[in-house]
Amino acid sequence: RLGWEAYYTFDEIVQWLDEQAAANSDVASVETYGESFEGRPMKVIKISTGGNGQRPIIFIDANIHAREWITNAVATYIINELLNGEASGLKSLLNTFDFHVAPVINPDGYAYTRTDRLWRKTRSNYAGGLCRGADPNRNFEFQWNTGGSSAVCSSDTYRGVRAASEPEVAATEAYLDSIKDRVTAYLSLHSYSQLILIPYGNNLGRVPDHDNHMRVGGLVERAIASRYGTQFTSGNIVELLYVASGASVDYMKGTHDTTLSYTFELRDTGRYGFVLPPTQIIPSSLEFVDGLIALANDLKISY
Ligand code: 0X9
Ligand code: ZN
């Protein structure tokens, strides 16, 4: 019973996820693929209307950064549209694709933002408890520690002691490894800045299929803008933002050669920043769904 008029707690989100799977057990199931540092479940909902487990997967991760609340709201909105939507063109994509959506991949951090709203990282212990957490989007294995991450454990971009040191990252990597050949698009939801970021974030620079990512990014930009005029901008992460190694999108592109791998920085451009008012959840979701449909329709041509 989420309404997308407020932000929900981690417990509310996972309870809703389980209810959705139970109510739609013909097409949906929830897998608990791991446990966070503090023991919260890492959950992914898998939606498939057929194809015997052979269909290409569109994978969406959200809330890898704790304070980016809009991302779990958009992720659950998408799940709801896929399962219960009527008008949206999303549902028909299930004739071609399976969707796997992990709406909160940093559960401890997200729970902690109830008391410290701008917390970003996980909540593991470092330096004997002097530091808490690493940046999970600097902790993935592909080209870990090749620029744009910190060795200082109190830093917001602390990379962790080693690649996949965070249990949330290790579990997510293992889950992704188990479905790697079927993932055709990997979308990592972040906020804010209204950007469509193309790997890599490390010093390797552009991916070999940069031009295809730019072309599809343009289609997505136009689809998003068609609803309310919201402007997103596509480009390589280093060119548009900064150097940053160890992200989930780089892992999927670099390790598994996923066809399309993007980081989306959702609304806004800084007026509210991470503390986006809940009145913007539904508009943010609607425009993102438009973009997602454009992306999937372009991919569909190859299946
Ligand atoms: O710095 C990040 O992790 C992301 N930006 S945020 O403001 N949400 O923290 C950008 C991640 C993109 N990174 C790579 N493709 N490496
Ligand atoms: Zn982020």
* CA quadruple 289, 75, 161, 130: dihedral sign: positive
Catalytic residue numbers read: 265
User: Quick one: pLDDT at residue 301?
Assistant: 83
Residue nearest atom 4 in ligand 1 by C-alpha distance: 190
Q: Report percent pLDDT > 70 for the chain.
A: 100
Give the residue from 191, 190, 203, 65 showing the smallest Cα distance to 142: 203
Say yes or no: CB of residue 197 within 6 Å of ligand 1: yes
3-state secondary structure (DSSP) of residue 184: strand
User: Quick one: pLDDT at residue 129?
Assistant: 84
Q: Token digits for 279?
A: 């009145």
Residue 142 confidence class, pLDDT cut points 50, 70, 90: very high
Say yes or no: CB of residue 254 within 6 Å of ligand 1: no
Q: Token digits for 76?
A: 């659950």
Q: How far is the CA of 70 from the centre of ligand 2 (A)?
A: 11
Rg over CA atoms, the chain? 18
User: Quick one: pLDDT at residue 127?
Assistant: 84
**Which residue bears the tokens 């399309």?**
260
The 10s digit of each residue's pLDDT in 272-291 is: 999 999 999 999 999 999 99
Q: Token digits for 191?
A: 């906020």
Within 8 A by CB and 6+ apart from 26, the residues are: none
**Which residue bears the tokens 């769904």?**
289
Say yes or no: CB of residue 249 within 6 Å of ligand 1: yes
The 10s digit of each residue's pLDDT in 37-60 is: 999 999 999 999 999 999 999 999
- The minimum-distance atom of ligand 1 relative to the CA of 263 is 12
Q: How far is the CA of 267 from the centre of ligand 2 (A)?
A: 12
Q: How far is the CA of 65 from the centre of ligand 2 (A)?
A: 5
Q: How far is the CA of 119 from the centre of ligand 1 (A)?
A: 15
Residue 88 in contact with residue 48, Cβ under 8 Å? no
User: Quick one: pLDDT at residue 205?
Assistant: 82
Say yes or no: CB of residue 201 within 6 Å of ligand 1: yes
User: Quick one: pLDDT at residue 179?
Assistant: 98
Q: Token digits for 74?
A: 């958009």
Residue nearest atom 5 in ligand 1 by C-alpha distance: 190
| pLDDT over threshold 80, residue 176 | yes
Residue nearest atom 8 in ligand 1 by C-alpha distance: 190
Output DSSP code: residue 154. Answer: T
Residue 245 in contact with residue 145, Cβ under 8 Å? yes
Distance CA 279, CA 197 (A): 25
Give the residue from 2, 193, 156 showing the smallest Cα distance to 79: 2
Q: How many helices (H) and strands (E) does the chain have?
A: 8, 10
Residue 107 in contact with residue 208, Cβ under 8 Å? no
Say yes or no: CB of residue 244 within 6 Å of ligand 1: yes
The 10s digit of each residue's pLDDT in 216-253 is: 999 999 999 999 999 999 999 999 999 999 999 999 99
User: Quick one: pLDDT at residue 302?
Assistant: 77
Distance CA 78, CA 100 (A): 11
Mean pLDDT calculated for residue range 152-171: 98
pTM of the full structure? 0.98
Say yes or no: CB of residue 184 within 6 Å of ligand 1: no
Within 8 A by CB and 6+ apart from 288, the residues are: 74, 78, 224, 264, 266
Give the residue from 183, 1, 12 showing the smallest Cα distance to 100: 183
What ipTM describes this predicted complex?
Answer: 0.95
| pLDDT over threshold 90, residue 167 | yes
| Domains (range + CATH), the chain | 10-120+136-148+162-300 (3.40.630.10)
Residue 88 confidence class, pLDDT cut points 50, 70, 90: confident
